[in-house]
Each structure stands twice: as structure tokens, then as C-alpha cells.
């Protein structure tokens, strides 16, 4: 089978296995792409979306948003050609020397400091956190301080320590979010969500 046919068949299987489950406009594409990436149907229930999160994200991406990731793995997984076609870009400060030095001097994680550096960027920002709960916690603090107002927070860190608590900080809040409740997640999930949003714009809106 051709690569595009394999993906098409995979999504057909996912749709069939979801049965009569339905999702709001735009949400379905995100849920199915995450399941496609992970082969884990639990995401059909654990992914939480703030009202109109997908619409707000699409608007930000169409305006040339910067996608900030907390790992270079997530950065690598984002379809940068699609993002650049919309005038956007993707960045990750985890390997930045200045971030590492500052984190060491302050005794905090590089993930937290990387969020502080990203908060200084201009234009609409989408944060895609797939690994570090400390990044999500610091981002929540920065929002509360008025230092940044993200167009969307994708909160899908994976693990056991502070992961669930970090995610729950955003549930029901004013900042648009897509959160994977519970312990599951990962950099691949974060990138999959970004790509699902990008593909919607390209396929639906003609970008």
C-alpha cells in the first residue's frame, strides 16, 4: 500500500472502532490523530477541550502563530512546512545555553525557564507541553501574573509526579486548552495535536 493509503485505512479503522461516538466539529480530527499516533483509544475520553479551543487555535495558526514546545522531540514532530505555509514557526528553548545556565543558577528546571523565555515572544502563541509538568505549572503561573496570554495551551505531559495536578490547573480556566487528563501523554501526542489543527486549516480553509 502507498503511504497515503495506509494512513487513510488507519483512520477508517479508527472511525469504525469508535462506533457511534461523535465529537464536536474540529475535535474529531484531533482525537482521531492522537489515537492514530498512539493506538490508544483512551484518548477519546481523556482529551478535554475548552469551549471553542479548536476554533481559537485555528484562528491563531492562520495568523502566523508561534508554536512553543517543551522538548525537541515534540519540535521535530510538528509539521513545520505546514506551519510555515501559514506564516508561523515552531521553537523550543530546552537546549538553549542561556536557559540551562539560568536554570542551574536558580535551582529550577530548564522546562520552567524555557516557558519564561517563550512568554517574551511576540504574536499569538500556542504552547505544546508533552513532557514536563514543571513547564505546565510555570506557564500557569505566568498566565496568572499577566506575563503571557496564550492562544492555546496543549497540556499533555506524561508521567507520575505532578503530572495530573499540572494538567488540572487549566481545566475550567479562561485560557483555551486541550488537555489529556490523567497520566498519559507525551511529546508525540503534543505534536499530533498541533498537526491535527494545522491539517484542518490546510484541508478545510484552503491554506
Positions marked active-site: 36
End-to-end C-alpha distance for the chain, whole angstroms: 28
Put the strands of the sheet holding 152-155 in their side by side order.
Answer: 47-49, 177-180, 152-155, 125-129, 66-69, 89-92
Strands 47-49 and 177-180: antiparallel
Task: Supply the DSSP string of 24-68, one letter for each residue.
Answer: -TTHHHHHHHHHHHH--TTHHHHEEE-TTHHHHHHHHHHTTPEEE
Q: Which three cell numbers stand for residue 176?
A: 483555551
Dist CA 88 CA 36 (whole Å): 25
Amino acid at each position: 500500500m502507498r503511504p497515503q493509503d495506509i494512513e487513510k485505512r488507519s483512520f477508517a479503522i479508527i472511525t469504525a472502532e469508535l462506533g457511534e461516538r461523535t465529537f464536536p466539529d474540529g475535535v474529531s480530527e484531533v482525537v482521531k490523530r492522537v489515537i492514530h499516533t498512539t493506538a490508544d483509544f483512551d484518548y477519546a475520553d481523556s482529551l478535554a477541550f475548552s469551549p471553542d479551543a479548536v476554533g481559537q487555535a485555528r484562528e491563531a495558526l492562520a495568523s502566523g502563530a508561534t508554536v512553543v514546545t517543551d522538548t525537541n522531540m515534540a519540535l521535530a514532530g510538528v509539521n513545520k512546512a505546514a506551519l510555515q505555509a501559514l506564516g508561523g514557526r515552531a521553537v523550543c528553548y530546552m537546549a538553549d545555553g542561556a536557559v540551562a545556565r539560568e536554570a542551574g543558577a536558580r535551582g529550577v528546571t530548564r522546562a520552567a525557564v524555557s516557558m519564561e523565555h517563550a512568554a517574551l515572544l511576540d504574536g499569538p502563541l500556542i504552547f505544546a507541553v508533552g513532557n514536563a509538568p514543571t513547564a505546565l505549572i510555570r506557564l500557569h503561573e505566568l498566565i496568572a501574573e499577566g506575563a503571557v496570554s496564550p492562544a492555546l495551551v496543549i497540556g499533555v505531559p506524561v508521567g507520575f509526579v505532578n503530572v495530573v495536578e499540572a494538567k488540572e490547573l487549566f481545566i475550567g480556566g479562561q485560557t483555551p486548552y486541550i488537555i489529556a487528563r490523567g497520566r498519559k501523554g507525551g511529546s508525540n501526542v503534543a505534536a499530533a495535536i498541533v498537526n491535527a489543527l494545522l491539517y484542518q486549516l490546510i484541508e478545510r480553509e484552503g491554506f
